[in-house]
Amino acid sequence: MMEAVLERQHAKSHVSEPRIDARERVMGLAKYTADWHVKDMLYARIFTSTVPHGIVKNIDSSEAAKTPGFVDMVSCLEDSTLWEAGEREHVRRVFADHVRFVGDCIGAVTATTRIAAKKAASLVSVQYEELPASFNIDSTLGNSNLKIWDNGNTIGPLKFEYGDAEEEFRNSQVVMERHYSTSRLHNVPLEPAISLAWWDGDNLTVVAATQSVHGCRNGIAKDLGLLPEKVRVIGYYKGGGFGNKINSMNYDLIAAICSRRTGKPVMVEYSREDEFINVHGRWSTDQDLRIAADRDGRINAVEVKANCDIGAYTRHMKRGHFIEGPEHYYSTEAWNAEIYGVYTNTPATGHMRAPPGPQSAFSVESLVDEMAYELGMDPVEMRFKNYIRHPNSGKFTSNGFEECITRGAEEFGWKQRWKRPEKQNTRRGLVTGVGVAIGSWHSGLGHGEAIVSIDSTGVLEVNTGVVDIGTGAKTTMALIASGEAGIPFSDTRVIWGDTETSPFSVGESGSRTTGFTGTAVREAARQIRSDLLSIGEKVHGISSSKLEIKEGNLIHSGNGNVISSVRELMHASGNGRITKSVTTEPALKEGEERFVFAAHFAEVAVDLETGEVKLTDYLAYHDSGEIVNRLTAESQVQGGIVMGIGMALTEKLLISKTDGSIENPSLLLYRIPNMAQIPKIKVFFTDTIDPYGPKSLGEIPIIPVTAAIGNAIFNATGVRLRNLPFSREELLRELKGKK
Amino acid sequence: MIIEPFQYFSPQSLDEAFEILSEHHGEAKIIAGGQSLIPLMKMGVEVPCIVDIKKIPGLKAIELSKDGLGNVSSIKVGALVTYNDIEGSNPVKKNLPLLAKTASGIGHPLIRNRGTIGGSLSHCDPAADLCATALALNARICITGPGLKTRSISADEFFKGPLETDLQDDEILTAVEFPVSAMKMGYDVQKLTLGHGDFPVFIVSVSLHNDGKKFTDIAIALGGVGETAVRAGECESLLNGRESITDEDILEVSKMITEKYDPPSSAELSHDYTLDMLAVYTRKALINAVQMVTG
């Protein structure tokens, strides 16, 4: 183990490489699913429920069928395929006969053109028997006639506890109790949902915009009753997903079903509006928190009670884990959480970048901040005093939390910039303030597969099942292989994104690609290097222990002289391609926990007359262990923070009070932050070395953002905002109330 | 996606354009930058026929007229001049800085690259940035009809209602003419939007002159508070002719504005807030304008 650590430390040379496919993407050469044109391809368009809750009684397609170009219609009346991944606790059909929200998919029309499909779909008429419906948490909990699901309208409680919270609340010197709410959000990938499918006999090929080609294949096979090897999923280029293109999606199944019925390749393409309504986003939360602390700043206990609006369906993986994470920020004596998922007749919820992370961090990190001010403490000191050193039992594999907090504060200039809020004397102009928030997130280990080979010309080829949803995974895999094998990055090629040619990968979800698949790539590349050294020994008669491979050359480690290039070596050996196929299954030792950590610092300027908040500075300090590619890692952190800025300041799905439909299903009305609202985001990484290699990174950047901004708003104005997104109107009202 | 089919024409001259317009009387819409028409069509508004005027020569110029003393007396901005062109034009920046500032604040760079002054004014959205500023600057709208017959009309008379102007089905807006004054001037434009780059909820465009003794030509134009952009005439007369304008005067005018005009509310911003903001933005605009000539 020690040797491995030292070796990695050596490899940590602050590599910063642009994505290997940057050129294709920028020049429009990258072939996204929408760019595929297959002979005789048809287009399908879904038609959906216009009522929030009901049973489909009749479907009239006579008008739709008159549309020039109409080919076929399929609906819940003749197709009862289940979409297993679409709902964890219950059964969800691809085409719902029991519709549960305005927009629930009832069927699809297939036509010769996109326009004909859209037109025909709009002409399908559906009759329903309507049922009582609920559009928010309170009405679900208060309505005994409501049956969104037969066995109850809630999931939970999820209980998470340790220590004796009641005892701590009784004995602590200061107790605070606050309410928080967060809004329903949407992932808003640039590329809306899309899938293209065709059959060759009983073999199905799907060109999918998925985050995992293998997960997609396995899901489709299961739902359509096929053997996985009968399904091929191709996914070369993606326009983002952030969790809403995870594994198999209903539109993949719809494309396959429509293609089977018509005997032609079928593309299902969602509009931006469809994407907002028919693909899941983040659930909202209603949270009551209590915190107990002593006057010296020691946090003793936290209690969280929450209800979460999870829509009509939820894809979230683990039962009830709708608020999760902050129990790993602090070393408290006790923690007590009781969480319910509450169904409503509104669109589905599910994975979105750290699914429960930012909702949970928002409330806890706002409350800890409030406690710091209550106790007269510097908020950074408060975090430093309480941040988690060790898990409740056992130990962390590595922990760079302290460095994140202290070095982050230093780089930000916290000591010089933070001041205790003073009473506002002015009523006009701008006031500024700074805020801090911290967070942690899991960093699992698991199954990885990779095939790495070197050919007779010395070109290294890395074959993995990653899809590169936008994370730079292809580049990361190539860098790991090139660094480990000693072959220049420029001589490294990647094969990816096709179940037919690439070994299994978990794909890009759960911050796992680098840790899971990357570990297999590293091992396969290590074996390649080891083989090259053996060949070197054979060809040049020098013991392999005295040889090294560096930058594509065989080197004498004694004098550093280049003996030959790898290309010449491969040629001299007479060997053809060397291939290493590797499966890795790393696992934590008993009592070990593996986490990533971050501290974020924000500065805002608030207009006292309008309540408008401008984010003027942002700094993030992260421990994600060894960083494989600094450039893409920084981008990933910045991307997560931008999503967090949206959650804090601009984004909210507006749910209709009368039918639960989404009132702002467009980029005009659902506002993601634009460049003018984003300051330069400075990103730093700790020098932490984790014995298991690079730790996770994709999700944690979004976690502390909303609280860091909210805490800065408080520092600027003395007003605590506890509802997301922060509203300038609420801020102004509070500011006026204070005077 | 635009699902209804439409005909597309790209005339090379005004004459040809008028021929097409008369052939498709009442069915044709003129397109320039397409920043309003295309989104409407994507939303499902049916337009059977589009006449693209971008290839017609002579509609892209910014022309200066001078008085006997050689001073610029007016500037004529061609219908096809984009927001970006306005923002970057030196004569506009020098003589009509309010127009330049307004144009530079419209939407995003992509919109400013394509959107045109003629398109914006003939689309006549009550809250459009340029409609308010055209009123504040006493613009005249130059219109050409069949037989190349021309007429001009004040912006005030041109705006008839929401998305409704004095432009007839067979006419084309060809240019917008702005008078230029040699007097010391103050100006500002302030708007409330839901997000950066979004269409205004309302907009306040202010222009005033000072001859060294008193304030004259006070113009306070408001967009988004009624059927069309409007001039707050009574508020203007409160300030016109004054030797000085104090913070208290401005507060009074801002208050008066909120008594006379009603901004819209939305799911995100309540009426209380937008009304409050109408006073705040009016005050900000007036203070900045007054400070320019006094400060």
The reply to whether residue A118 touches residue B268, judged by beta carbons under 8 angstroms, is: no
Judged by DSSP in three states, A156 sits in: strand
- B3 to chain A, minimum CA–CA distance in Å? 6
Structure tokens at A619: 């700094």
Evaluate if residue B117 carries a pLDDT over 70. Answer: yes
Alpha-carbon separation of residue B247 from B251, B254, B291 (angstroms): 6, 10, 11
Evaluate if residue B295 carries a pLDDT over 80. Answer: no
pLDDT of residue A320: 52
Residue A252 is part of a domain; what is its CATH number?
Answer: 3.90.1170.50
Residue A375 is part of a domain; what is its CATH number?
Answer: 3.30.365.10
CB < 8 Å to A119, chain B: 3
Over residues A507-530, mean pLDDT: 93
Residues A123 and A228 in one domain: yes
Band of the pLDDT at A9, cuts 50, 70, 90?
Answer: very low
A313 domain-assigned:
no
Residues A435 and A455 in one domain: no
Structure tokens at A114: 């996109």
Q: CA A363, CA A339: separation in Å to the nearest integer?
A: 14
Judged by DSSP in three states, A713 sits in: helix
Q: CA A738, CA A717: separation in Å to the nearest integer?
A: 10
Residues A568 and A614 in one domain: no
Band of the pLDDT at A317, cuts 50, 70, 90?
Answer: low
- A620 to chain B, minimum CA–CA distance in Å? 24
Over residues B84-105, mean pLDDT: 97
The reply to whether residue A674 touches residue B3, judged by beta carbons under 8 angstroms, is: no
Residues A83 and A204 in one domain: yes
Optimal mutation site among A122, A668, A670, A731, interface B, most CBs of chain B within 10 A: A668
Q: CA A45, CA A65: separation in Å to the nearest integer?
A: 13
Write out pLDDT tens, residues A618-646.
999 999 999 999 999 999 999 999 999 99
Write out pLDDT tens, residues A547-568.
999 999 999 998 999 999 999 9
Residues A610 and A568 in one domain: no
Is the CATH code 3.50.50.60 the one for domain B7-52?
A: no
- A26 to chain B, minimum CA–CA distance in Å? 18
pLDDT of residue A425: 66
Q: Is-cis flag, bond preceding A157, omega within 30? A: yes
Residues A553 and A629 in one domain: no
Are the beta carbons of A641 and A698 closer than 8 angstroms?
Answer: no
Phi, psi angle pair for A371, to nearest 5°: -65, -40
Write out pLDDT tens, residues A692-730.
999 999 999 999 999 999 999 999 999 999 999 999 999
A300 domain-assigned:
no
pLDDT of residue A211: 94
Domain assignments of chain B as residue spans, ordered by start: 7-52, 62-179, 184-294
CA dihedral A93, A99, A101, A103 (to 10 degrees): 70
Residue numbers of the domain that contains A563: 445-584
Residue among A610, A652, A676 whose CB faces B280 most closely: A610
Q: CA A326, CA A358: separation in Å to the nearest integer?
A: 10
pLDDT of residue A12: 46
Q: Which fold has domain B62-179?
A: 3.30.465
Band of the pLDDT at A318, cuts 50, 70, 90?
Answer: low
The reply to whether residue A654 touches residue B108, judged by beta carbons under 8 angstroms, is: no
Phi, psi angle pair for A601, to nearest 5°: -130, 130
B184-294 to CATH, choices 3.40.190.10, 3.30.465.10, 3.40.50.920, 3.30.390.50: 3.30.390.50
DSSP string, A15-74: -----TTHHHHHHT-S-BGGG---TT-EEEEEEE-SSSSEEEEEEE-HHHHTSTTEEEEE
Min mean pLDDT across A302-311, A319-328, B87-96, B224-233 is at A319-328
Residues A375 and A461 in one domain: no
In the DSSP assignment, the letter for residue A154 is E
Residues A561 and A671 in one domain: no
pLDDT of residue A739: 54
Strand pairing report for A395-396 and A592-593: parallel
- B196 to chain A, minimum CA–CA distance in Å? 7
Residues A60 and A124 in one domain: yes
Nearest CA to A102 out of A663, A683, A686, A637 is that of A663
CB < 8 Å to B198, chain A: 668, 671
Residue among A271, A610, A671 whose CB faces B195 most closely: A671
Are the beta carbons of A189 and A670 closer than 8 angstroms?
Answer: no
Domains contained in chain A, number: 3
The reply to whether residue B3 touches residue A271, judged by beta carbons under 8 angstroms, is: no
Residues A606 and A556 in one domain: no
- A188 to chain B, minimum CA–CA distance in Å? 17
A389 domain-assigned:
yes
Residues A83 and A228 in one domain: yes
Write out pLDDT tens, residues A206-259.
999 999 999 999 999 999 999 999 999 999 999 999 999 998 999 999 999 999
- What value of ipTM does the predicted structure carry? 0.92
Q: Which of A219, A236, A269 is the last residue of a domain?
A: A269
User: Sign of dihedral through CA atoms A72, A76, A77, A78?
Assistant: positive
Q: CA A236, CA A219: separation in Å to the nearest integer?
A: 19
Evaluate if residue B216 carries a pLDDT over 70. Answer: yes
The reply to whether residue B3 touches residue A610, judged by beta carbons under 8 angstroms, is: no
Q: Which residue in chain A is spatially nearest to B276 when comparing CA positions?
A: A610
Residues A460 and A529 in one domain: yes
